[in-house]
Chain A
Amino acid sequence: MAGSAEVYSRRRWTWPAFAAPGLIWLILLFLVPFYAILAVAMGRQDPIFNQSVPIWNPVQWDPGIFGEVMSDIFSGQLGVIFVRTIAYVVIASLISLLIGYPVAYFVARHAGKRKVLYLVLILTPFWVPYLMRMLAWVNLLGTDGYVNDALMLVGLLDAPLEWLSGRSDTVVLGLIYGYVPFLILPLFAALDRIDESTIRAARDLGASPWQAFLRVTLPLSKQGTLAGLVIIMLPMFGDYYTNGLLSKSPNTRMVGNEIVLFIESGGGGSRGVALTVVLMAFVAVLMAYYLISVARATKESKA
């Protein structure tokens, strides 16, 4: 019958149509700009202005720039910067996790009626722009700032430390402070979702509180932990302003600073863009691990 065929075809298109906004967003705001990035990286230099100009036809693309960037990473000055960036991001992420997990756990499990209040309190400082907060740190960490005063008061320091004279720990501290709430939120969501009866069941079956945490809560919050880590690690890899505000020393330079240097100088534009693509590829590996582990977890929960 014609009628039922119509209904069938309508049904067939209704649900996929819901994907349209996401798809359009993906195409307009990710694929098109990404294509433009590739077109600039493998484009040409304008002969008068010496600026990088995109070539839109992929057939004419010259991937040589990636070879140059890769060889700079593996045998040139970029290697140090890459290793340093990875080290900063990994250390900052792990410390963020050490800080963020207990906070999220407490809010999700023990805050009771004040859950919302705590969440708002965690987020309130982040209504202040990032730059403003980093500037506050510049003042706090100054040689005569409150951090030194406090540390000397409790006897941890004998003389003021020059926090802002280009120290790695200062930059890592800035990264942690800047990104930790973005880790807490997904972690909170994951911990909040855990059905308390599963934990009670574990306890009934003889697990100690610690065992229940290790065997029930921790595995069940793995997705949220990974999501939070991915959310903070991705922007940390491209971060350049934390280093710019808190250090400015060559000893703490990150990949983001290098990208800015090349993009802001005419002749180096395509090099800066190529470096961005390499960084994206690297970060995509992290992302892939996250997606695979999510897919696996979904399959397991269905099974």
Chain B
Amino acid sequence: MILETFSDGGRLGEGTWMVFHPREGWNGRKRSPWDRPMSRRRMIRLSASAVITAQLLAACGDSSSGSSSSSAVKIGTPEDPIEQPLFDDNPAIESDLQPEDGPLKIFNWADYLWPRVINDFSEEFGVEVELTTFYNMEEATRKLRTGDLNFDVFFPTAEVLPKFVAGKLLQPLNHDYLPNLSGNVWEELQDPYFDVGSRYTVPYTVYQTGIGWRTDIVDADIESMDNPWDVFWDPSYKGQVGLYDDFRETVGVGLYRSDINNINTGRQADLDKARDALMELADLVNVRYTIDGAYAGMPESKFGLHHAWSGDVVGAQYYFPKGEDASVLRWMWPPKSEASTAGGYVSNDSLAITRDGENPVLAHMFINYLLDSKVALKNFGWLGYQPPLESIDPAQLVSEGYVPENLSSAIIAKEDFGLGQVPVQLPPNVERMWLDTWSQVQSG
């Protein structure tokens, strides 16, 4: 039984799901903004709470907190990758155990997994699956910390992992149950900088942050600009411009505009430049900060130019009004452009198993299931965010219709991970500076 599901799941016959998108299947009804599909990227950034550093622990010297020692919190960076610590009182499960009877409890971002995939797992393994969703990592963290909800599978991000490990909310993975990890996942992501050796996480999807636009509204040659981000400051697109309502991502755009490619900067001078740049936008182009502008706003002509996650533009094709052509949509990722020296995010989202879960074996099986090529591809057709699997050939994604030709730039290649920037958790005082900057930008 699935607690939260979409009734159309069963309507789509095998073989049709590739061309017949489930969202289209809802009688072409467009989704409302509060459904916020694909919105979870925004939520991640909003809640990109900084992980605590040793300095803060030393500074507050709070022994009453009952938390583990500062040495437990390990933040890796691409320059300095890190193995997450293991704890004696939080071991991985033994190998060769029998799966539990369930029900398997999944705790996921809203609209971040095709309910049909859950249904299939449920039928194939004969267990009940319960899905609970959240919109915001803050909320998810608070719920997990209560310790009585017993979720099994959770979807952390690279930025929250260190504190989740240090706070012992996750259990280490036993790779014996995950043959698809070593067999199918991109090798680079089997050893990510934030969790070397995939001790606690395996990758679920990859994403990049770039620029999306409609060719019928924007005629600038964005791909050959020295700094493609400058296009947001072009007054000829006044009223057409949107950026994400997200303090990490969007202050980042202010930094790129100022030719600063360090998106984890702790320098006030950098942030001031970003703030000044972004504050110009309010009157220069009537900028609006949205969650849904990229995947829903552009198809509906509310925006001609929007800050966009790769998965959002791939999903946008399903939001065009009937009879309108999605081929006007374009997307580019500045770090990949030959002409540009500007930056852009590239990162991945993860799967993990919570410590309180009562079905750890089943949870491992579910994670392994999601790393299966067929399942992952099916899920991608609904989700728009790409699974980093060896067996999935980028060319195939276009030829089989998962990604339209005009958006082939939104397909992520392994090599891209060396080109772009990764967001790393900020120390609390730095996060505060970022929030302040964002608050000033938003005050207009």
Chain B, range 56-113, C-beta contacts under 8 Å to A: 56-57, 60, 62, 65, 67-68, 70, 72-73
| B439 & A50 in contact (Cβ 8 Å cutoff) | no
Chain A, range 66-88, C-beta contacts under 8 Å to B: 77-78, 80-81
Nearest first, the 7 closest Cβ-Cβ pairs linking A and B are A266-B49, A250-B444, A248-B288, A77-B443, A251-B444, A48-B67, A77-B440
| A80 & B444 in contact (Cβ 8 Å cutoff) | yes
**Any B CB within 8 A of the CB of A178:** no
B135 to nearest A CB, angstroms? 9
Q: Which of A50, A81, A258, A269 contacts B50 (CB 8 A)?
A: A50
Instruction: Return the CB mask of B192-228 against A: 1 if under 8 Å, else 0.
Output: 0000000000000000000000000000000000000
A258 to nearest B CB, angstroms? 7
Residues of A within 8 A of B289 (CB): 248-250
Nearest neighbor of B56 in chain A, beta-carbon distance: A47
Residues of A within 8 A of B247 (CB): 261, 265
Bound Cα distance from A70 to B144, whole angstroms: 34
Bound Cα distance from A46 to B166, whole angstroms: 12
| A265 & B163 in contact (Cβ 8 Å cutoff) | no
**Any B CB within 8 A of the CB of A267:** yes
**Interface size of B as a range:** 35 or more
**Any B CB within 8 A of the CB of A6:** no
| B441 & A250 in contact (Cβ 8 Å cutoff) | yes
Residues of chain A whose beta carbon lies under 8 Å from any beta carbon of chain B: 44-51, 77-78, 80-81, 131, 135, 142-143, 162, 164-166, 245, 247-253, 257-258, 261-269
Q: Which of B47, B51, B57, B239 contacts A264 (CB 8 A)?
A: B47
| A51 & B442 in contact (Cβ 8 Å cutoff) | no
Bound Cα distance from A248 to B288, whole angstroms: 5
| A165 & B286 in contact (Cβ 8 Å cutoff) | yes
Of B19-27, B362-370, B383-391, B430-438, the stretch lying at the interface with chain A is B430-438
Q: A47-B57, A251-B444 are in contact. Are A261 and B33 (CB under 8 A)?
A: no
| A77 & B290 in contact (Cβ 8 Å cutoff) | no
B246 to nearest A CB, angstroms? 10
Residues of chain B whose beta carbon lies under 8 Å from any beta carbon of chain A: 32-34, 46-52, 56-57, 60, 62, 65, 67-68, 70, 72-73, 136-138, 141-142, 145, 163, 166-167, 239, 242, 245, 247, 279, 282-283, 286-290, 301-302, 428, 431-432, 435, 438-444
Q: A250-B442, A250-B443 are in contact. Are A262 and B435 (CB under 8 A)?
A: yes
Residues of A within 8 A of B439 (CB): 77-78, 258, 261-262
Bound Cα distance from A78 to B392, whole angstroms: 49
Q: A47-B65, A51-B141, A264-B46 are in contact. List 7 more A-B contacts (CB 8 A).
A: A47-B62, A47-B67, A49-B52, A49-B167, A249-B288, A250-B279, A265-B431
Bound Cα distance from A81 to B441, whole angstroms: 12
Residues of B within 8 A of A245 (CB): 33
Q: Which of B72, B301, B435, B443 contacts A268 (CB 8 A)?
A: B435
Bound Cα distance from A49 to B301, whole angstroms: 40
Residues of A within 8 A of B60 (CB): 44-45, 47
A270 to nearest B CB, angstroms? 11
| A48 & B288 in contact (Cβ 8 Å cutoff) | no
Q: Which of A48, A135, A267 has the most CB of B within 10 A?
A: A48
Nearest neighbor of A44 in chain B, beta-carbon distance: B62
Q: Which of B57, B247, B282, B444 has the most CB of A within 10 A?
A: B444
Bound Cα distance from A43 to B271, whole angstroms: 28
